[in-house]
Amino acid sequence: MSVSFDFTGRTTIVTGAARGIGLEIARHLQGAGASVYLLDHDAEEVAKAAAEVGAAGVPTDVSSTEAVQAAVQRAVDDTGRLDIVVNNAGILRDKVLWKLTDEDWDAVLAVHLGGTFRLTRAAVAHFRAQQYGRVVNVTSYTGLRGNIGQANYAAAKAGIIGFTKTAAKELAAFGVTVNAVSPNAETRMVSSIPPEKKQQLAAAIPMGRFAAPSEMCAAVAFLASAEAGYITGTVLPVDGGISM
């Protein structure tokens, strides 16, 4: 039996949607009837992705308040509403702590954690007016356990967990849920790992492999659905058991 959710009439924004997990989530929600807006800083790639999915592509730097507000306004102007935001945008500036520059630190925090904050904040007025909304944030196992060379990334992902739980408490009274997923998928970051090291990492996963990006979609769709209206403030691992 296949379980699916109907997003007909729902307006959705997905960040970091030009490729990888974000693109697959956008594709899934568009296919389930949502009006989807793909946000990404790469204008050329997000245009290609949007055309592939049959959705709208909006070049957006999520570290900019003005850019995020403009993207939200575009979606609301087009459809009259905003129902779901998926905060997936992220960048890497990997270096061991003593080699990290202020720019490396600030850039990663501004996109991962700052982008999550800015888009959620921009959506809240519309959610409150509707007395309905869904926020799904993308965090990481690294945010709980750390990883050599990723102090900035780990701090950002840990911050997203704290933000998720706080926003869930603040927005529950308005019919808004805020949850997170913690994926372990074959992304560009994973693909760049040397084969021997990647094999070692995969062996540490109880399921014995990294997931395809598309395997993250069902969890996100569930948390974004009307049916999940009594679930908020949770972090759902979709990681093959690595966080056990």
> Among all residues, which ones are annotated catalytic?
153
**What one-character DSSP code corresponds to residue 78?**
H
The token pair that represents 97 in the structure block: 């702590």
The token pair that represents 228 in the structure block: 């999940």
Residues 6+ apart with CB under 8 A from 193: 201
Alpha-carbon distance of 131 to 138, in angstroms, equals 23
Tokens 């869930």, residue? Answer: 168
Angle, vertex CA 163, rays to CA 161 and CA 168, nearest 5: 100
| Number of neighbouring beta carbons within 10 Å of residue 61 | 17
Alpha-carbon distance of 109 to 100, in angstroms, equals 13
Are the C-beta atoms of 160 and 143 separated by less than 8 Å? yes
Q: 228 in helix, strand or coil?
A: helix
Q: Residue 228: exposed, middle, or buried by beta-carbon count in 10 A (0-12, 13-18, 19+)?
A: middle
End-to-end CA distance of the chain: 28
